[in-house]
Amino acid sequence: MLQAEYTEHHLSKGVRLIFIPTVKFKTISMALFLHQELREDLAALNALLPAVLEQGSRRYPDKLTLQRELENLYGADLFADILKSGERHIPAFTLESPHDKYLGGKHGLLSDDMSVLGSVIADPLVEEEGFKKEYVEQEKNQLIKDINALLNDKGAFACERCVALMCGSEKFGTYKLGRVEDYNTISPVDLYRYYREVISANPVDIYVIGDLEERQVLQEAGETFNFFRNGSPKTLPSTEIEQPVKEVKRVEEEMQVSQAKLILGFRTYTAYSDRQYCALLVYNGILGAFPHSKLFMKVREEAGLAYYVYSRLERHKGLMVVAAGINYDDRHRAQEIIEQQLADMRERRISDEELENTKKALVSRLLSQQDSPIQLISSHLNGTIGGKIYTTEELIAGIEAVDREELAAVADKITLDTVYILRPREGDS
């Protein structure tokens, strides 16, 4: 059996529970995702929501109390975050603890874990019709710091800049944490009102994984996540991938750094639910996802121009980003070699080894996801976001069936949109 079996239940309208029973892991893992659309005017609210909820609930009114409770649950790890995936923006909560059977004796951790998670999400600390003011202000400051801190990782910074330039007029151009100025106007009452709105109307997915009884999981989850729901759940728009490229944007920016970053942003015009999705995975694999890929072999191993060079998909938005850390003086040569690899892909210059090795690597990566609770969750979540749930078997069969015709068809659609270079200031490199 390849695919982890799961069962799906509706706790109330738009609140879904997915239970994956397995004896394989040492843990009890659970997650809750609150689906929302990605929009510039909502971004700061969405980012602030998990950050504030995580500060404390009615039952655990501050972080200290909450953290101590988690420590007593054998170091259960609660993590609240905001995900950007395609044009979805998703407040996300995960909680993982060891499974009782490794602690000697019965501890009832499923019930305790779920009760803490439920308390944080469904029973927040409220004062004067709003979230606690102190927490809202504190988390605004933290998120503004996080926005500014993107600068600290030059590789990630350069990729974000490229995507922002590329999708400036689209919803996808919205940064995951929004803009600094958006935080000024949010009051604790606004945020609480927004919370009430999304928790009662937007789709919610809850996942539970572990060596557990389905009946007990269902019962606990039903009692814990009994949000008030407003009729049928809101329908969220799907990600727009058809933006045409009129002219390639070329932007260089300067910073006090040693190494230049070269980023090429492409549009693939292939969506997650498309028939050609598997061909796109294989295309990206041959081009730059692995150490045997063309980019690594040509730019690094043959030309010795870079330590890292890769291509990566944003699979819901249908973007492909190629990134390399290089000497600024090598930028033309590096870009030429990169573009030559894309040209080779279009002209079907793909060896049997490249094709077969990439398929094997992709299949291996898919199978390996079965060994991690969080990856099991993400792969199902991706299906929900992308509007098509693939089983592992379907994806493997799809990948194995990809031929050069389909790769050429995918390659023909791939269009360069933006070239971004972060360059050292004169004298810094």
Interaction with other proteins in 249-268: which residues (CB under 8 A)?
A: 255-259
Q: How many helices (H) and strands (E) would you count in the chain?
A: 14, 13
Q: Which is nearer to other proteins, 319 or 350 (CB)?
A: 350
Interface segment toward other proteins; rule CB under 8 A; list 19-27, 37-45, 119-127, 314-322: 19-27
Count of residues that interact with other proteins, criterion CB under 8 A: 77
- At 292, give phi and psi (nearest 5°): -90, 0
What is each CA distance from 95 to 30, 85, 116, 137, 174, in whole angstroms?
Answer: 5, 21, 9, 25, 28
Site for other proteins in 168-227 (CB under 8 A): none
* Beta carbon of residue 105, minimum distance to other proteins (angstroms, whole number): 12
Q: Does 71 bind other proteins (CB under 8 A)?
A: yes
Whole-angstrom Cα distance, residue 36 to residue 44?
Answer: 12
Q: Does 59 bind other proteins (CB under 8 A)?
A: no
Quickly tell me which residue has 């801190």 as its tokens: 149
Beta partners for residue 253, in sequence order: 422
* Beta carbon of residue 152, minimum distance to other proteins (angstroms, whole number): 5
Q: Does 301 bind other proteins (CB under 8 A)?
A: yes
Q: Does 300 bind other proteins (CB under 8 A)?
A: yes
As a dihedral over the C-alpha atoms of residue 217, residue 219, residue 222, residue 225, rounded to 10 degrees, the angle is -50
* Beta carbon of residue 361, minimum distance to other proteins (angstroms, whole number): 6
* Beta carbon of residue 286, minimum distance to other proteins (angstroms, whole number): 11
* Beta carbon of residue 318, minimum distance to other proteins (angstroms, whole number): 25
Q: Does 429 bind other proteins (CB under 8 A)?
A: yes
- The answer to whether the beta carbons of residues 136 and 48 sit under 8 Å apart is yes
What is each CA distance from 18 to 6, 27, 30, 231, 390, in whole angstroms?
Answer: 7, 17, 10, 21, 15
Which of 11, 14, 18, 25 touches other proteins by CB under 8 A?
Answer: 25
- At 43, give phi and psi (nearest 5°): -60, -45
Q: Which is nearer to other proteins, 152 or 185 (CB)?
A: 152
Q: Which of 255, 297, 277 is nearest to 424 (CA)?
A: 255
Whole-angstrom Cα distance, residue 268 to residue 416?
Answer: 9
Whole-angstrom Cα distance, residue 86 to residue 68?
Answer: 36
Q: Which is nearer to other proteins, 146 or 274 (CB)?
A: 146
Which of 19, 290, 310, 390 touches other proteins by CB under 8 A?
Answer: 290
Interface segment toward other proteins; rule CB under 8 A; list 64-72, 117-125, 163-171, 194-202: 64-72
Q: Which is nearer to other proteins, 346 or 425 (CB)?
A: 425
DSSP for residue 124: B
Site for other proteins in 359-418 (CB under 8 A): 360-361, 363-365, 367-368, 370-373
What is each CA distance from 372 to 8, 167, 269, in whole angstroms?
Answer: 20, 33, 31
Q: Does 239 bind other proteins (CB under 8 A)?
A: no
* Beta carbon of residue 320, minimum distance to other proteins (angstroms, whole number): 21
Site for other proteins in 307-346 (CB under 8 A): 307-308, 325-327
- The answer to whether the beta carbons of residues 198 and 65 sit under 8 Å apart is no
Which of 9, 39, 154, 234 touches other proteins by CB under 8 A?
Answer: 154
Which of 46, 85, 94, 97 touches other proteins by CB under 8 A?
Answer: 97
* Beta carbon of residue 45, minimum distance to other proteins (angstroms, whole number): 20
- The answer to whether the beta carbons of residues 286 and 350 sit under 8 Å apart is yes
Residue 82, judged by CB atoms within 10 A of its CB (0-12, 13-18, 19+), counts as buried
* Beta carbon of residue 120, minimum distance to other proteins (angstroms, whole number): 15
Which of 291, 340, 347, 387 touches other proteins by CB under 8 A?
Answer: 291
Q: Does 114 bind other proteins (CB under 8 A)?
A: no
Interface segment toward other proteins; rule CB under 8 A; list 66-74, 123-131, 222-230, 340-348: 66-74
